[in-house]
Amino acid sequence: MTESERQTMKRFEAKVRSLLADYVALKKENSELYDELDKKEKELRNLQSQATRYKEDYDNLKLAKMIEISDTDFKGAKQRITNLVREVNNCINLLNAQ
């Protein structure tokens, strides 16, 4: 093997080692990115669940405010409760009809 061929072989080996090192680094980075993606997806699911709970709490507060009874608004509150009961009965009737 001539000196020129040895030099070419050394350059080739160096490039192969460099490519392998790059491959290992990219594989590690890819793994880290997948781990981060999994964490973000879990965080997103948690936030969506929390948003759903907050919406339910808000709806419950709206309902509580709607049926809140005060001394001055007793008749109005009674009427609202009657209307709510009527709506619930209508819903039950519709469900039973199906």
Mean pLDDT confidence for 24-34: 97
CB within 8 Å of 84: residues ≥ 6 apart: 66, 67
Average pLDDT, the chain: 88
Cα-Cα-Cα-Cα dihedral sign, residues 34, 40, 44, 46: positive
Q: Indicate the DSSP class of residue 2.
A: -
pLDDT at residue number 74:
72
pTM: 0.52
Burial of 80 (0-12, 13-18, 19+ CB in 10 A): middle
CB within 8 Å of 68: residues ≥ 6 apart: 77
